[in-house]
Amino acid sequence: MEKNEIYVIYGKDIAAMTVRLADEANLAGLIGERGKRIGLKPNLVTAKPASGGATTHPEIAAGLILYLKKNGFNNLTILESSWTGGSTAQAFKVCGYRKLAEETGVKLIDTKGDKTRLCDCAGMKLEICESALAIDFMINLPVMKGHCQTRLTCALKNNKGLIPDREKSRFHTLGLTKPIAHLNTVVRNDFIVVDGICGDPDFELGGNPLYGGRLFAARDPVLCDAWAAFQMGYSLNDIPYIGAAEQLKIGSADISAAKVRELNHDEVQAACRTAPVGKVRELAPYIAEDNACSVCYASLIFALSRMNKAKLNRLKEKICVGQGFQGKQGHLGIGQCCAGFQRFCEGCPPSGAEVLAFLGG
């Protein structure tokens, strides 16, 4: 897998999807020596199951552990700390990582209790947990979701779990943009698997999951976050820490140069049929959905959530989305299934940013 590539996979068998991503990316080849210390860094910001949209599905870590052990890698550690004031031990238990560690023999490290080292992060002094610094190959497992302050949290921001709580608090006094970027000049992002199954589009602590039914892998954390922002309807100007990280030469934010490879486009799932909550329920009256694929539906929700009430009220009819509109005529549709409509947003699926631009948001 090259640095400018992004691999995308759809489905419901999360562990099998993860193994496929690792295999296609030749993760074993990227790691190299079998004796290397390999870290898995999920997002366990709070003690809530992944179905709520805040935390990383444990099946992703399970799939990676299966793949790594099969390929001769046994020095594996899961390391994380929950948000300031939260219990990582409780998050490990509730989110399924305690059970996973017991079943696989993988070590769990709560970095809240770790020793730290003051590091020069491209001119900014930051405390970083020693267990993270000891890792030879770090696999970042963020959730693609919203954040109340930075709008997006994905690969770059997920590494806040590798600093002590006192440093997390200081990040907020410094303004999050600069320290997030500088932190990633030292902490490793060797391989990234993003949990895009059902991240909350608004809030980092979840409660408003939006089913997307996909995972994606990358090697460049800047490109990864830029692409995630695009999927959620944001521009780079909306997420300043991405541009700041690019300026520090951590990676490239040029998504136009990214090579996006869909491993199984034919397996895009229909949107989750669980009762909509929060933002999804609020925006449902603007949508006419008929057997919509999960990612296309999520892109429309991401776009509508970026529009203010006045712009939403200017929509004179519901926006159609779904396979049920194939071969039919209409006025306003999203995705290639609505190609017969007077106006439709191209793409299969289109991104949130493309839908937002199409709607004039």
Task: State the residue range of the domain holding 349.
Answer: 278-359
Tokens representing residue 28 in the block: 């074993």
**Window from 109-123, 151-165, 263-277 with minimum mean pLDDT:** 263-277
Does residue 252 share a domain with residue 290? no
**Window from 54-63, 80-89, 273-282, 296-305 with minimum mean pLDDT:** 273-282
Give the domain-ending residue among 239, 267, 295. Answer: 267
pLDDT at 313: 85
Q: For the segment 1-43, what is each residue's pLDDT rounded down to a tens digit?
A: 999 999 999 999 999 999 999 999 999 999 999 999 999 999 9
- Domain assignment of residue 272, yes or no: no
The mean pLDDT value for 147-173 works out to 92
* Pairing verdict, β 151-153 and 145-147: antiparallel
Q: Measure the CA–CA gap between 68 and 35, rounded to whole angstroms.
A: 12
Tokens representing residue 188 in the block: 């490793």
3-state secondary structure of 40: strand
Q: Per residue in 271-305, is it b (16+ CB within 10 Å) or e — as a string?
A: bbeeebebbbeebeebbbbeebbbbbbbbbbbbbb
Q: Measure the CA–CA gap between 177 and 71, rounded to whole angstroms.
A: 38
- Domain assignment of residue 200, yes or no: yes
Does residue 282 share a domain with residue 237? no
- Domain assignment of residue 273, yes or no: no
**Window from 38-47, 101-110, 200-209 with minimum mean pLDDT:** 200-209
The mean pLDDT value for 49-57 works out to 96
pLDDT at 208: 87
The mean pLDDT value for 69-93 works out to 96
Q: What's the domain count of the chain?
A: 2
**Window from 214-218, 286-290, 306-310, 352-356 with minimum mean pLDDT:** 306-310
- Domain assignment of residue 228, yes or no: yes
**Window from 60-69, 117-126, 310-319 with minimum mean pLDDT:** 310-319
DSSP state of 36: -
- Domain assignment of residue 92, yes or no: yes
Does residue 121 share a domain with residue 61? yes
- 321: enclosing H helix or E strand: strand 319-321
- Domain assignment of residue 251, yes or no: yes
pLDDT at 281: 82
- Domain assignment of residue 233, yes or no: yes
Tokens representing residue 195 in the block: 């949990």
CB 224 within 8 A of CB 192: yes
Does residue 291 share a domain with residue 185? no
Residue 221 reports pLDDT greater than 90: yes
Does residue 149 share a domain with residue 61? yes
CB 14 within 8 A of CB 193: no
Q: For the segment 232-285, what is each residue's pLDDT rounded down to a tens digit?
A: 999 999 999 999 999 999 999 999 999 999 999 877 766 555 556 677 788 889
Give the domain-ending residue among 216, 244, 267. Answer: 267
Q: Measure the CA–CA gap between 141 and 64, rounded to whole angstroms.
A: 10
Helices 294-305 and 352-359 pack at an angle, to 10 degrees, of: 50
- Domain assignment of residue 11, yes or no: yes
Does residue 128 share a domain with residue 159? yes
Query: Within 10 A of 134 (CB to CB), how many other CB atoms are there?
Result: 13
Q: Measure the CA–CA gap between 345 and 236, rounded to whole angstroms.
A: 21
CB 121 within 8 A of CB 77: no
Give the domain-ending residue among 245, 267, 289. Answer: 267
pTM, to two decimals: 0.92
Does residue 301 share a domain with residue 203? no
Residue 361 reports pLDDT greater than 80: no
Q: Measure the CA–CA gap between 86 and 95, rounded to whole angstroms.
A: 14
Does residue 218 share a domain with residue 123? yes
Share of the chain above pLDDT 70, in %: 97
The pLDDT mean for the chain works out to 93
Among residues 100, 209, 144, 138, the alpha carbon closest in space to that of 8 is found at: 144
Does residue 36 share a domain with residue 145? yes
CATH of residue 29: 3.40.50.11440
Handedness of CA 152, 154, 158, 159 (dihedral sign): negative
Does residue 329 share a domain with residue 191? no
Burial group, residue 338, by CB count within 10 angstroms (0-12, 13-18, 19+): buried
Q: For the segment 283-338, what is each residue's pLDDT rounded down to a tens digit?
A: 889 999 998 888 899 999 999 988 988 888 888 899 999 999 999 999 999 999 99
Does residue 54 share a domain with residue 23? yes
The mean pLDDT value for 133-150 works out to 95
Q: Per residue in 26-39, is it b (16+ CB within 10 Å) or e — as a string?
A: ebbeebeeeeeebb
Does residue 120 share a domain with residue 31? yes
Residue 110 reports pLDDT greater than 60: yes
Phi/psi of residue 116, nearest 5 degrees: -125, 165
